[in-house]
Chains A and B, each alone.
Chain A
Amino acid sequence: MRLTVDHVTRYHYDRPVRSVVQSHRLQPSAFAGQKVTDWEVTVSGGTRGASFRDGAGDMVQGWTVAGPVSEVTVRVQGTVETVDLTGVLRGHKETVAPECYMLATTPTRADTALDALARQADGGDPLALAHSLSALVADAIAYMPGVTHAHTTAAEALALGEGVCQDHAHALIAVARVRGLPGRYVSGYLFSDADGQAHEAAHAWAELYLAGLGWVGFDPANRCCPDDRYIRLGSGLDAQDAAPIRGIARGGGMEEMDVTVAILQASQ
């Protein structure tokens, strides 16, 4: 599939700030499932900073904006050619050991309920187990925007029984770890086609490390494995660790953020 992305994040400060520093993971991952045709990230008034590929294989790009400034716009535009690899992250170069993703963080720590949920899963081999875990999470947490927030933990979302893709991903990571599978959080984009699924275009899912296959994506929110509708950006232990944009503004007022994402299928 040939997908075009137009992703705009606008930061507005009620009083001008002295400076803004950002760290981006906004470059599509380099692996067999996607190929970048063109891609550009711009930051209004920004100076391009350090850039490198990190141990998890993500391209990191720093930006600084010298103030005083009261609005900063980050715009991502590009086209990606995608192939369906049924979730398998083939040909992705990284050095972080999978065992590193056995470390629990606040949002992905399993409480007794998550622990119990994890133990309901069955499957003879790791792949079947992973599918079973993903399905359990999808059943236990119904898709419902507006119930949870950025800092909701997997345990809290499970108790609520509702959440969004971030909560699904956190919960799947938590239950996978209980069953001995390293899990990580993936951020990216999702093209929602005409069948009316209203899931947000800025999307997140989980990857689990399966012996023999390596990292494989699972998207409990959509009850599937990422295919050619998905664009993968970067990964981390949780949503915060995998955030496509991290930033801090110094010496100013309150920040308001406004995001619009449009993913379209290019007409060749």
Chain B
Amino acid sequence: MSQFNEMYQGTKVRPPYARLEDWVAAMPQELRSLKQAEAEALFRRIGITFAVYGEGGDPDRLIPFDMFPRVFAAAEWAKLEKGIKQRARALNAFLVDVYGRGEIIRAGRIPARLVYQNEAYEKAVTGFVPPKGVYSHIVGIDIVRTGPDEFFVLEDNCRTPSGVSYMLESREIMMRMFPSLFRENRIEPVDGYSEKLRRTLASVAPKKCQGEPTVVILTPGHFNSAYYEHSLLADLMGVELVEGQDLFVDGEYAYMRTTEGPRRVDVIYRRLDDAYLDPLCFRPDSMLGIPGLMDVYRSGGVSICSAPGAGVADDKAVYCFVPEMVRFYLGEEPILNNVPTWQCGKPDDLKYVLDKLPELVVKEVHGSGGYGMLVGPKSSRDEVERFRAKIVEDPGNYIAQPTLALSSVPTFVEEGVAPRHVDLRPYCLVGERIELVPGGLTRVALTEGSLVVNSSQGGGVKDTWVLAE
């Protein structure tokens, strides 16, 4: 399997990386260690701790940061941007449709069962169109690259994709440590993200809101692994960071408890699951959440971002149909392709998967964080056989994909610089407008040959550069 190294074409350096060759060459081992220690100290000092959604783990843990940037040329990014925005539009059109008339299902383009019997489908919001027709306001799309012009979407995150704080802080730290790099290379800034996010959230204020909307971020609390990110975004946007206990419903509106009495809240950017929003609606046995919030939401008293029910679009089984959504709703051909995927729930697909198991990557439909998956070529015969038994037992719970030759980017390792596999998560903002900050979260598998980039499994992060034209 030939692997694409994003820096080299044969022995020649690809243009976006041109100036980095000298940079690395001019950095002696001692300086590198010094800089690496400095970066780590900076991360620790600002208190950034991190875990990608659902990975859990120690809340005070630092994720490894690799100083070697990952670079996109303007033209490469332009194509990605178009593809990402197209996908974000299609996903939102799908959500509005399946909570409305369900045209795509009536047209037979996606099985009804996948949608209506999906755990993430919220019957409680059917018939309701959120402001501006947007369900997923922050779409995180995980992308891998296999060649100069070959990008594949690995999965969509329509609920509350995390990791954007790493995009922002990696850049901060790189600019502090290597200002000359930013003078020599024309790198598009990413710090407009928070302002764009604020504008996006304000643009979906509910119809009953008059004047400048009050936006808040709703966090599960300071024990959450992404608490730093919640607090950073609240700080950058200049909005309150609230917990469920800070909010309450009175009459037709939601309020936060302040030292000056109740203050009305118009837009809630929530960083917790639907199940924890309103015990009256989702979990009658729970004391968590804000009782009555869903009634206020449904009657247009408050906006919730992402909208409850958005999760039905990012399920791994629904993922297979996203290209179909692009064609159905937008009448366009998808710019970004899915990874070919076999659904073990289908008998033909299952047969193929079981035949080729040692060559495939198999994932649980609802799993995340690199757990509950099989990377065939990297697994022992025993592991493959054990996984085979799990698939046979509950085929509908698994999908399989070919093992992709993920691109690699030079990375600082013990022995110097060596290629390591990467993926990319850009964050697309959808409100009145669709916007994409030029950059994203590049995750890197620090173990040689590894294809698993999750931070819980030895992954790190890099600064992601998009060069100006």
Contacts and interface: CB of A to CB of B under 8 A. Distances in A.
Q: Direct A–B touching in the complex (beta carbon < 8 Å)?
A: yes
Interface of A: 19, 21-23, 47-56, 60, 62, 64, 66, 94-97, 99-100, 102-103, 237, 240, 246-248, 250
B126 A52 contact: no
A100 B251 contact: no
Interface in B200-252: 248-252
B123 interface: yes
B163 interface: no
27 contacts: A21-B291, A21-B292, A22-B292, A23-B295, A49-B250, A49-B252, A50-B251, A50-B299, A50-B301, A52-B298, A54-B298, A55-B128, A62-B249, A62-B252, A62-B292, A62-B296, A62-B299, A95-B101, A97-B102, A97-B105, A99-B116, A99-B117, A102-B117, A240-B284, A248-B279, A248-B280, A250-B291
B73 to A, nearest CB: 46
Interface string B299-313: 101000000000000
Contacts of A97: 102, 105, 112, 116, 126
B56 interface: no
Contacts of A21: 248-249, 280, 291-292
Contact of B113 (A54, A99, A240): A99
B289 to A, nearest CB: 9
B280 A247 contact: yes
Contact of B127 (A48, A54, A62): A54
Contact of A47 (B105, B251, B298): B251
B123 A100 contact: yes
A101 B292 CA distance: 24
Interface string B111-140: 011001100010111111000000000000
B299 A52 contact: yes
User: Which of B127, B128, B287: most chain A Cβ within 10 A?
Assistant: B127
A50 B280 contact: no
Nearest to B279: A248
A240 B296 CA distance: 20
B53 to A, nearest CB: 25
B357 to A, nearest CB: 31
B292 A100 contact: no
Contact of B249 (A49, A52, A60, A246): A49
Given A55-B127, A55-B128, A62-B252, 4 more contacts: A95-B101, A99-B117, A102-B113, A248-B287
Interface in B249-270: 249-252
A41 to B, nearest CB: 14
Contact of A55 (B126, B281, B291): B126
A49 B292 contact: yes
Contacts of B287: 248
Contacts of B299: 50-52, 62
B251 A55 contact: no
Contacts, number: 100
Interface in B64-99: 99
Contacts of B279: 248
B100 interface: yes
A52 B121 CA distance: 20
Interface of B: 99-102, 105, 112-113, 116-117, 121, 123-128, 248-252, 279-281, 284, 287, 291-292, 294-296, 298-299, 301
Contacts of B298: 50, 52, 54, 60
A246 B301 contact: no
B15 to A, nearest CB: 52
Given A21-B291, A99-B116, A55 B123 contact: yes
The DSSP consensus for interface residues of chain B is loop
A23 B99 CA distance: 22
Given A50-B301, A240-B284, A246-B284, A95 B295 contact: no
A95 B127 contact: yes
A99 B292 contact: no
A64 B292 contact: yes
Contacts of A49: 249-252, 292, 295-296
Contacts of B117: 99-100, 102-103
Contacts of B294: 23
Contacts of A51: 299
B251 A96 contact: no
A31 to B, nearest CB: 16
Contacts of A240: 284
B295 A60 contact: yes
Contact of B116 (A48, A102, A246, A247): A102
Nearest to B208: A50
Nearest to A250: B291
A19 B124 CA distance: 24
A52 B99 CA distance: 16
A94 B127 CA distance: 8
* Leading 7 A-B pairs by shortest Cβ distance: A55-B126, A50-B299, A55-B127, A99-B116, A62-B295, A95-B127, A21-B291
Contact of A95 (B126, B251, B301): B126
B125 A50 contact: no
Contacts of B296: 49-50, 62
Contacts of B292: 21-23, 49-50, 62, 64
B105 to A, nearest CB: 8
Given A49-B249, A100-B123, A246 B102 contact: no
A96 B117 CA distance: 12
Contacts of A62: 249, 252, 292, 295-296, 299
A55 B116 contact: no
B295 A100 contact: no
A154 B139 CA distance: 40
A211 to B, nearest CB: 14
A97 B106 CA distance: 11
Contacts of B123: 55-56, 96, 100, 237
A62 B291 CA distance: 10
A144 to B, nearest CB: 26
A154 B249 CA distance: 35
B124 A54 contact: yes
B249 A64 contact: yes
Given A51-B299, A54-B124, A95 B249 contact: no
Contacts of A50: 251-252, 292, 295-296, 298-299, 301
A62 B249 CA distance: 10
Nearest to A53: B127
Contacts of A48: 251
Given A52-B298, A54-B298, A247-B280, A96 B249 contact: no
